[in-house]
């Protein structure tokens, strides 16, 4: 796929996901303001105490599937993310990556299908932690153990003559990489959220072999450059009972204050 | 205290609301940064190696290991599979001429013609001189290369034999296939050469010096 097609795809995608980011920013101002208490009370520096364990989220990435349908590689992945104080989100991501590419000019075939895993943590960057939307940054460590096949047309010896095609199968490789990401999560309906993230990935190491460098690493992407940009667009099931309790508590406090007045 | 808590919460919300308006004014900057990142990703550079010819690189040294510029003319040939017909023209007092084709001009000029079958060969380095190194291609699908060094000032020719493994290598599918080699053993005769050594056995397109050729004599003589 040409450079320009890639770019246009990203522009369309970006226009599609930008409103989601906009929602996060605007949503911060959408919390209904309760009436101010009439009593004057001396203020001391204290923040609302958020319980440590707030819940968890389960998510599935849909972008990988779209990517595979449009291009030669992609995959499916899911994630389990814990919610600690609505601020820290330790996460485990697992999935299967697939690549089946024939290079149009050289006719070299590269094939692999393998599982991968990532572990890491996200940080909610919004000041107001008591809302459903999040803007977060995060880091990941990724690993994949996979076998790949690579084959190509015959290469002719220009001096001595003769030509033999090559076909190397099952080249066993283990790759490690690191990721830094920025993303958003917004509420769609009740516990259903959506989120996207842009990820910068950098390969840390891969098993070396004399025949070929891995072209595609499951969960990482292509190795054309030393670092690569990745994207995830996830549908998220957010089980956040901690915040539900917190909101109930605040609501009860408001009612109590009103009653006292 | 509880009233205070609610009051603080409201105040923090108001602060956030004010900040949000400020953030909104930076939206074009966000768009610019992310668009630039995406553009850079979409139009990444071609990462194929610029120098992609795989050659065995020879460095020239005197018998004591001092790097030298070799001023004599050398032609390096290799033997190819199969035979070819050669035409040899001789005349008393004249230089013998060997051709791959028949040339009737020599017969008209009184030369005698001899037709014979000899092993096919190819020139890998043609009449090089005043050089300190040379690059020579290697055989893709055979594990033995036989090179014949023909000197202009030495009547005998040296034969160099290289034993190696060869394998196809793909850096990236878009860069195509290259044939790499791994040198296992090197031998030579000793007319112009003193000895040879394998310096770096990995023959690829990285340009490392793979072989050291030590010629007879010393640069300090």
Average pLDDT over residues A131-156: 93
Question: Do B161 and B204 reside in the same domain of the chain?
Answer: yes
Q: What pLDDT sits at residue A174?
A: 97
Average pLDDT over residues B179-208: 94
B32 contact A CB<8A = no
Question: Do B66 and B171 reside in the same domain of the chain?
Answer: yes
Residue B73 falls inside a structural domain? yes
What percent of chain A is predicted at pLDDT more than 70? 82
**Does the distance separating the beta carbons of A42 and B172 come in below 8 Å?**
no
- Pull the structure tokens for residue B49: 């190696």
- In this structure, the strands spanning A221-222 and B211-215 are unpaired
Domain residue limits at B29: 2-42
pLDDT digits (tens, 9 = 90+) for A16-43: 555 444 554 444 445 566 666 666 666 6
Residue B26 falls inside a structural domain? yes
Q: What confidence tier does B3 reach under pLDDT thresholds 50, 70, 90?
A: very low
More confident residue, A172 or A247: A172
DSSP characters for B188-212? E-SSSEEEEEES--EESTT----EE
Q: What pLDDT sits at residue A128?
A: 82
Q: What confidence tier does A8 reach under pLDDT thresholds 50, 70, 90?
A: low
Question: Do B6 and B77 reside in the same domain of the chain?
Answer: no
Model confidence, pTM = 0.74
Question: Do B38 and B61 reside in the same domain of the chain?
Answer: no
Question: Do B194 and B159 reside in the same domain of the chain?
Answer: yes
Chain A residues with beta carbon closer than 8 angstroms to that of B2: 253, 256-257
Of A101, A103, A229, the CB nearest to B37: A229
Taking residue B215's Cβ as centre, other Cβ atoms within 10 Å add up to: 22
Q: What confidence tier does B151 reach under pLDDT thresholds 50, 70, 90?
A: very high
Average pLDDT over residues A75-83: 94
Taking residue A48's Cβ as centre, other Cβ atoms within 10 Å add up to: 14
Question: Do B67 and B26 reside in the same domain of the chain?
Answer: no
Helix or strand run (H / E) with residue A163: strand A163-189
Among chain B residues, the shortest Cα distance to A46 is held by: B5
The rounded mean pLDDT for chain B is: 83
Question: Do B31 and B64 reside in the same domain of the chain?
Answer: no
**Does the distance separating the beta carbons of A25 and B168 come in below 8 Å?**
no
Average pLDDT over residues B8-19: 46
Q: What pLDDT sits at residue B52?
A: 75
Residue B103 falls inside a structural domain? no
Full set of structural domains in chain A with CATH: 56-260 (2.40.160)
Question: Do B174 and B70 reside in the same domain of the chain?
Answer: yes
Residue B93 falls inside a structural domain? no
Rounded to a whole number of angstroms, the distance from the CA of B12 to the nearest CA of chain A is 8
Of A7, A126, A164, the CB nearest to B141: A164
ipTM metric: 0.70
Q: What pLDDT sits at residue B43?
A: 52
Q: What confidence tier does A45 reach under pLDDT thresholds 50, 70, 90?
A: low
Q: What pLDDT sits at residue A67?
A: 87
Rounded to a whole number of angstroms, the distance from the CA of A186 to the nearest CA of chain B is 16
Q: What pLDDT sits at residue A40?
A: 66
Rounded to a whole number of angstroms, the distance from the CA of B3 to the nearest CA of chain A is 7
A43 contact B CB<8A = yes
Helix or strand run (H / E) with residue A5: helix A3-27
Residue B62 falls inside a structural domain? yes
Q: Residue A51: which of A22, A10, A86 has the closest Cα?
A: A86
Give yes or no for a contact between A175 and A217, defined as CB atoms under 8 angstroms apart.
Answer: yes
Question: Do B12 and B71 reside in the same domain of the chain?
Answer: no
Q: What's the domain count of chain B?
A: 2
Of B4, B23, B169, the CB nearest to A212: B169
Average pLDDT over residues B98-124: 91
Q: What confidence tier does A218 reach under pLDDT thresholds 50, 70, 90?
A: very high
B77 contact A CB<8A = no
Q: Residues of A numbered 148-207 whose beta carbons fall under 8 angstroms of chain B's beta carbons: which are they?
A: 150, 152-153, 155, 157-164, 166, 168, 198
Question: Do B128 and B170 reside in the same domain of the chain?
Answer: yes
pLDDT digits (tens, 9 = 90+) for B53-110: 899 999 999 999 999 999 889 999 998 888 989 999 999 988 889 898 999 999 999 9
Residue B91 falls inside a structural domain? no
Average pLDDT over residues A215-229: 91
- In this structure, the strands spanning B97-99 and B158-170 are unpaired
Q: What confidence tier does A232 reach under pLDDT thresholds 50, 70, 90?
A: very high
Residue B48 falls inside a structural domain? no
Rounded to a whole number of angstroms, the distance from the CA of A78 to the nearest CA of chain B is 24
pLDDT reading at B41 higher than 60: no
Q: What pLDDT sits at residue B183?
A: 97
Annotate A152-173 with b (16+ C-beta within 10 A) or e (fewer): beebebeebeeeeebebeebeb
pLDDT reading at A203 higher than 80: yes
Question: Do B31 and B126 reside in the same domain of the chain?
Answer: no
Q: What confidence tier does B37 reach under pLDDT thresholds 50, 70, 90?
A: low
More confident residue, B33 or A64: A64
Rounded to a whole number of angstroms, the distance from the CA of B63 to the nearest CA of chain A is 31
Give yes or no for a contact between A96 and A75, defined as CB atoms under 8 angstroms apart.
Answer: yes
Beta-carbon pairs below 8 A across chains A and B: 165
B135 contact A CB<8A = no
Residue B159 falls inside a structural domain? yes
Question: Do B36 and B64 reside in the same domain of the chain?
Answer: no
Q: What is the CA radius of gyration of chain B?
A: 33
More confident residue, B155 or B27: B155
């Amino acid at each position: 796929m040409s450079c320009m097609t890639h770019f246009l795809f990203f522009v369309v995608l970006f226009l599609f996901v930008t409103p989601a980011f906009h929602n996060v920013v605007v949503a911060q101002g959408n919390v209904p303001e309760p009436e101010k208490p009439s009593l004057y009370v001396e203020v001391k520096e204290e923040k609302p105490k958020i319980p440590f364990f707030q819940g968890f989220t389960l998510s599935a990435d849909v972008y990988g599937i779209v990517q595979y349908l449009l291009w030669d590689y992609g995959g499916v992945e899911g994630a389990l993310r814990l919610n600690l104080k609505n601020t820290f989100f330790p996460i485990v991501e697992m999935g299967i990556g697939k690549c089946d590419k024939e290079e149009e000019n050289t006719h070299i075939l590269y094939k692999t299908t393998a599982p991968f895993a990532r572990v890491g943590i996200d940080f909610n960057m919004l000041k107001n932690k008591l809302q459903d939307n999040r803007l977060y940054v995060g880091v990941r460590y990724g690993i994949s153990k996979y076998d790949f096949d690579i084959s190509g047309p015959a290469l002719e010896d220009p001096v001595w003559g003769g030509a033999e095609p090559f076909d190397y199968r099952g080249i066993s490789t283990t790759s490690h990489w690191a990721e830094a990401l920025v993303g958003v999560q917004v509420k769609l309906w009740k516990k259903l959220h959506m989120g996207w993230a842009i990820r910068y990935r950098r390969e840390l190491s891969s098993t070396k072999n004399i025949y070929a460098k891995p072209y595609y690493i499951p969960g990482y992407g292509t190795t054309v450059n030393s670092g690569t940009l990745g994207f995830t667009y996830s549908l998220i099931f957010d089980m956040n009972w901690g915040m539900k309790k917190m909101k109930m508590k605040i609501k009860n406090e408001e009612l109590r204050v009103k009653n006292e007045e | 205290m509880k009233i205070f808590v609610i009051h603080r919460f409201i105040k923090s919300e108001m602060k956030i609301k004010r900040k949000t308006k400020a953030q909104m004014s930076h939206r074009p900057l966000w768009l610019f940064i992310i668009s630039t990142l995406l553009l850079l990703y979409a139009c990444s550079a071609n990462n194929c190696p610029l120098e992609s010819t795989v050659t065995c690189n020879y460095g020239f040294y005197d018998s004591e290991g001092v790097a030298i510029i070799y001023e004599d003319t050398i032609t390096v040939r290799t033997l190819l599979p199969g035979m070819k017909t050669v035409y040899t023209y001789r005349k008393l007092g004249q230089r013998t001429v060997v051709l791959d084709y028949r040339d009737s001009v020599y017969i008209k000029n009184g030369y005698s013609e001899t037709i014979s079958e000899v092993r096919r060969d190819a020139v890998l380095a043609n009449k090089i001189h005043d050089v300190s190194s040379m690059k020579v291609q290697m055989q893709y699908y055979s594990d033995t290369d036989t090179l014949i060094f023909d000197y202009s000032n030495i009547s005998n020719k040296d034969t160099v034999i290289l034993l190696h493994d060869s394998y196809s290598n793909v850096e990236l599918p878009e860069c195509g296939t290259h044939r790499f080699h791994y040198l296992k053993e090197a031998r030579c005769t000793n007319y112009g050469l003193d000895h040879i050594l394998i310096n770096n056995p990995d023959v690829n397109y990285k340009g490392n010096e793979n072989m050291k050729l030590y010629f007879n004599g010393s640069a300090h003589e």
